[in-house]
Chains A and B, each alone.
Chain A
Amino acid sequence: MISKRFVIKRLLLLVPVLFGVATFVFAILHLAPGDPARVIAGQRASEQFVQQIRVELGLNDPIWVQYGRFLLETVQLELGKSYQIQKGVPVTEVLRYKLPVTIEMALYGQFLGILFGIPLGLLGAIKQDSLSDHLTRVGALTGISVPIYWSGPLVILLFAQVFNVLPASGRIATTFDIQPITGVITIDTLIRGNFAAFQSAAAHLLLPSMVIGIYSMALISRMMRSSMLEVIRQDYIRTARAKGQGARITMMKHGFRNALIPVVTVIGIQFGTLLGGAVLTETVFGIAGIGTLLVSAIQVGDYPVVQGTVLMFAFLFTLVNLGVDITYSYLDPRIDQ
């Protein structure tokens, strides 16, 4: 049973996290060169027009007044309007359609990582120093060492160019026109009952998920192996075996659950890394998610979009960590005491 106090305490921690991120982003944008008013007005606009925009945006106010106003608006979820990317559209609206794209990709990648990482780690621990263990370890180290910007083009070359079995980029074939409902394309195609479109979306997602999954799987399997090896050397495992309990039941019932705790940590931290790595993955695979949005917003100086995107990243990361903490307390009830 998870204690409410524990969850509330963790939820309250969201406040300093978001305050920290908001302050950090505000500072970075005010230290960066360039005048937002000039960006909005355009390079050829008159000085008078630029000044008018400065007054409208409150950029002539003292910086601490701007900071206080920014914090107040952020609390009210008013992240402003896009200057450049989608002129005049509220940032929350811009993010609404981009965020599910990134989350979908990260979730599928993480799913693949967990699906293969945990069994491989378990296999390595149970059959320690066997050929399969050595192969898994070499595979894991390779997976950790290869960056996404290298493995991405490699899998595109192999599966899209050489074998020609999977699409290289995009989210769905151009022949399909799926109006977003949730923004998660595989779910939207299913809701609309278009299975051909679903197949196309799934095929498009496979390569980016695979690239994300390889890295994730490598770390998870390595962690699972180390953790399981430690757990199976504990006295209570030996006692269970001495009392005649079968090896498989002992491993799965007593060993696996306890060995999962550090693995869950890695999965949580890893998810944050995946979100951060979305910038690279989306660029390599030509997917228009929150990562490419952030890069474009930085390039054109669309500050409200940059602020909103970074805040959203931080919010997601902390939510995932909250999920990890709750999972901890489920796996080991002593943790929330």
Chain B
Amino acid sequence: MGASDETNSPDDRRAVLRERARTTGRATLLGAVLGVVGVAVLVATGETLLFASEKVFAVGALILGFAVLGWSGSIFAGRGIENAQEYLDTSSNWSEAASRRAMVVLTGLGAGVMVGSIGATVVLDAVV
């Protein structure tokens, strides 16, 4: 079910958008914390700051890339996959709209990890 099916009035739509923005914001914040913790843990275990920064940033980019790809892939082929599942009698309750929403949350998480790792690197570089 898409957003247009769930909402009727502009107020409802705004409320849904606010809720989604909050969820994505929370995921970004969580990502940023994970990014900072990731860099700090790697440095604490004896890795160089360069290595820690590179690996944590890359993990964040991996999540971001996967999520953006999943989001656009859902829009591109989601309806088609829904139809194909229906016609082949292999319906799994997977829907384009739900996939899109999940991917937006993951995008926030990935971006958060990237930003967190940059922040941690800059701070640790200045401190150490």
Contacts and interface: CB of A to CB of B under 8 A. Distances in A.
Interface of A: 10, 13, 16-17, 19-28, 30-31, 62-64, 67, 222-223, 226-227, 230, 261-262, 265-266, 268-269, 314, 318, 321, 324-325
A62 B61 contact: no
B94 interface: no
A112 B91 CA distance: 28
13 contacts: A17-B76, A20-B69, A20-B71, A21-B69, A22-B65, A31-B55, A62-B118, A63-B58, A64-B114, A262-B87, A265-B81, A314-B69, A318-B76
Nearest to A265: B80
Contacts of B67: 20
B26 to A, nearest CB: 22
Question: Which of A23, A226, A265 counts the most B-chain CB atoms under 10 A from its CB?
Answer: A23
B53 A222 contact: no
B61 A26 contact: yes
Given A20-B72, A64-B114, A269-B80, A30 B54 contact: yes
Contact of A223 (B66, B77, B88): B88
B68 interface: yes
B72 A227 contact: no
A31 B71 contact: no
Interface of B: 53-55, 57-62, 64-73, 75-77, 80-81, 83-84, 87-89, 114, 118, 121
B71 A16 contact: yes
Contacts of A266: 84
Contacts of A226: 87-89
Nearest to A314: B69
A237 B38 CA distance: 62
Nearest to B75: A13
A25 B73 CA distance: 16
Contacts of A10: 76
Contacts of B64: 20, 23, 27
Contacts of A265: 77, 80-81, 83-84
A314 B76 CA distance: 12
